[in-house]
Amino acid sequence: MKISQLTEAFGAVVSGVDLGNVDPEGVEEIREAFHKHQVLLFRDQEISMEQHIVFSKNFGPLEVHISKDSLHKDHEEILLVSNVKENGKYIGVENAGDSWHSDLSYMPEPSLGSLLYALEVSEVGGDTEWLNMYAAYDTLPQKTKERIEGLKARHSFNRYKNKRIGVPDQRKVGGKERYAKISPPDVFHPVARTHPETGRKALYVSPRFTLGILDGSDDEAQDLLDELIEHATQRDFVYHHSWKVGDLIMWDNRNTLHLACRGIPEGQIRHMHRTTISGDVPF
Ligand code: SIN
């Protein structure tokens, strides 16, 4: 196995490994690289859904996503991230990740990490970006670090409650009723969380799921969130990925955000499988 740095900011490419057949020493090497680099890219993988699930489970139990109508019908651990339509309806989440977010931060125990595997990619568009949220925290002014110490932010899946991400296209995401029905109750997590493995602090807010701050006035909370999000989303902290068929990217949801860049022309297909690893209560 060879592990080489992906960008100056973070991330690594892991080569010489078949994810359908990794021995326990290989898993440990990957776990170490995962904690060090936050985002791991594996190229040229040819794995079945079973192998994707088995490999993912080395890092923890898997989540079954709350978007039930986007799960693979034979494997509920696989979320379909896809613009394929059957009978006029998307078979998976067509708009997955269209604003910066960390997976499942709207849950009491958000996801540890996710593994997205490209089965079909569009010729144009469909890239994904990741943000290094350790770097976002580390480079905050000391005054801001002190201000956010001990603060908790409100997170919600319900995009209709979120002024920051604008009015969604109801035909693609479903109406208010769908979100009211499937969204779990709002949760509160530290604005800066400590990674349980590395002990490092990462900023843990996102435009997609963070609605406000627990204490203080909402105006002040929104100003603070705007400031933190603007700081975190600067280009120096970004890894930009143009997908190839067979790429699998595994990322840590505790110290990164990610964004689907979209821009796929009508008629081009992008079809991916995602597994989502369960995590712990952030602290
Ligand atoms: C996701 O947010 O998990 C999907 C990202 C993408 O489709 O690029």
Backbone phi, psi, residue 136, to 5°: -60, -40
CATH number for the domain harbouring residue 121: 3.60.130.10
Residues whose beta carbon lies within 6 Å of some atom of ligand 1: 81, 96-97, 114, 116, 128, 258, 260, 274
Q: What is the pLDDT of residue 249?
A: 98
Buried (b) or exposed (e) across 35-47, using 16+ Cβ within 10 A? eebbbbbbeebeb
Alpha-carbon torsion angle 68, 72, 74, 77, nearest 10: -70
Split at pLDDT 50, 70, 90, the class of 117 is: very high
Amino acid identity at 253: N
Range of the domain at 18: 2-277
Pick the closest to residue 7 from 42, 37, 34, 29 (CA basis). 37
Dihedral (Cα; 94, 132, 153, 57), 10-degree rounding: 60
Q: Is 198 exposed, middle or buried (0-12, 13-18, 19+ CB in 10 A)?
A: middle
| In a domain? residue 283 | no
* 167 pLDDT tier (thresholds 50, 70, 90): low
pLDDT of residue 109: 98
Q: What is the pLDDT of residue 177?
A: 86
Q: Would residue 90 count as lying in a domain?
A: yes
For ligand 1, the distance from its centroid to the CA atom of residue 227, given in whole angstroms, is 24
Distance 63 CA to ligand 1 centre (A): 16
Would residue 134 count as lying in a domain? Answer: yes
In this structure, the residue with its CA closest to atom 1 of ligand 1 is 97
Q: Which residues are catalytic?
A: 101, 103, 258, 274
Better pLDDT: 172 or 197:
197
pLDDT reading at 169 higher than 80: no
pLDDT at 243 over 80: yes
**Residue 147: burial class (beta carbons within 10 Å; 0-12, 13-18, 19+):** middle
Ligand 1 atom nearest to 274, measured from its CA: 3
Give the ligand 1 atom nearest the CA of 127: 8
99-134 exposure pattern, b = at least 16 Cβ within 10 A, e = fewer: bbbbbbbbbeebbbbbbbbbeebbeeebbbbbbbbb
Specify if 84 maps to a domain.
yes
- Of all protein residues, whose CA lies closest to atom 2 belonging to ligand 1? 97
Q: Does residue 223 surpass a pLDDT of 90?
A: yes
* Residue 82: inside a domain: yes
Q: Is residue 273 in a domain?
A: yes
> Ligand 1 centre from 37 Cα, in Å?
19
Q: Which residues contact 34 (CB under 8 A, 6 or more apart)?
A: 40, 59, 113, 250, 252
Q: How far apart are CA 259 and CA 123, in angstroms?
A: 19
Question: For atom 6 of ligand 1, which residue has the closest CA?
Answer: 260
Residue 108 lies in a domain: yes
Checking if the pLDDT of 208 tops 80, the result is yes
pLDDT of 282 strictly over 90: yes
The answer to the question of residue 282 being in a domain is: no
CA of 35 to the centre of ligand 1 (A): 21
Whole-number Å distance, alpha carbon 141 to ligand 1 midpoint, is: 30
Choose which residue among 116, 157, 238 to substitute to test ligand 1 binding: the one with the highest number of ligand atoms within 8 A of its C-beta.
116
Statement: the pTM of the whole predicted model exceeds 0.85:
yes
Whether 139 and 254 have beta carbons less than 8 Å apart is answered as: no
- Structural domains of the chain, count: 1
30-41 pLDDT, tens digit each:
999 999 999 999
Q: What's residue 88's pLDDT?
A: 87
